[in-house]
Amino acid sequence: MDTSETRKKGKAGKADTLLTPDQLREIHRTMVRTRALEERATALQRQGRLGFYIGSLGQEAAHIGSAYALRPDDWIFAAYREGGAALLRGLPMKALVDQCFGNADDPTKGRQMPCHYAFANINYASISSPIGTQCIEATGTAMAMRIRKKDAVTISYFGDGGTSSNDFHAGMNMAAVFKAPTIFFCQNNGWAISLPVSRQTASETIADKAVAYGMPGVRVDGNDVLAVYQATREAVERARAGKGPTLIEAVTFRMGPHSTSDDPSRYRGDAETQSWKEKCPIERLRRYLEQLGEWTAEDDEKLWESARAEVQALAQTCEQTPPPPLNSMFDDVYAQLPWHLKEQRAELLRIHPPGRKQESDDYKFP
């Protein structure tokens, strides 16, 4: 494949005729709600009310724009910054906030770290902390669907750091050989925690890696939601047509820390971050809508107020929701519980009968 094809760059405007104003407003609204959630979650963590959070500050266009190109029956294999894709699929924001608090309404019953979502009802696969694992999971699922003669596709999200993992290369190779209907979507945000992308690869771009595996590699402006949508749409069409996988590299920037446990001031300068603030994907789409005459400053103010109020109310509700019942730890692994686990569950219920108020000491490791 020649270099120009491998490094095809999307341009805002190319996809103008593909999205209606209502669709653009839907994308914009999802990006704003995602940003509002991050603002509140980060504040809660700093107040000691939330244990941990992984944000997508500055990367909203990359994952939301790409997810918009999918059908509801397509499968998403996320890393951990793609909560906005779940919102786009109609997931109530309460489910995201419940998961972050790990309360009784959390779909994962408090068993996962915050932001490690799993929403089977919207084809959003469970997230793992190890990087890159989702690449082979997405490939395997794509092949399984093809065997079952379904025309759905899968997409796996990962960062530039994920391209250093074995699973990234195993997934890419297997998908290309067997023409699996899947998309590898790299959000190149410049940093793998404290390691710059230049230490992740000697290739000029991550999209270049596609050449070695025999699949198209596309590099787009990850802060241009129209370009991201267009590139993903083409990759989805290619996969659904039986032509195999595509690697998309969305060049963006992580404006916040890797997680709330990280301090980016220790490894990068403010100037770099400031320069990217001017490329904020939400502001770019807002300005575009205004240029089309489809958005006003008043609309924008109302949207932000609504989004922040929604998150504020949910945080209060979800924080007060009790933790999952202790005996729920025996659920969901076996269709039929083995005898020894039945005995353990009975013993637990004897010590902690249903209805007994759970004390904080209940959760201390013996």
Three-class secondary structure of residue 80 per DSSP: coil
254 is catalytic: yes
Catalytic one of 89, 146, 254, 284: 254
CA 325, 327, 330, 332 torsion-angle sign: negative
Nearest to 127 by CA among 143, 109, 108: 108
Amino acid (one-letter) located at 150: K
Shortest CA distance to 138 belongs to which of 93, 183, 99, 88? 183
> What DSSP character marks residue 325?
P
DSSP lists the bridge partners of residue 191 as: 196
Which one of 258, 284, 286, 288 is the catalytic residue? 258
Annotated active-site residue in 267, 287, 356, 363: 267
DSSP one-letter string for 32-69: HHHHHHHHHHHHHHHTTSSS-----TT-HHHHHHHHTT
Residue 157's φ and ψ, nearest 5 degrees, are -105, 140
Q: Does the annotation count 308 as an active-site position?
A: no
Q: Which run of H or E residues covers position 229?
A: helix 225-240
Number of C-beta neighbours around residue 321 at 10 A? 16
Catalytic annotation present for 258: yes
* Closest among 58, 40, 32, 37 to 299, alpha carbons compared: 32
List residues with catalytic annotation: 254, 258, 267
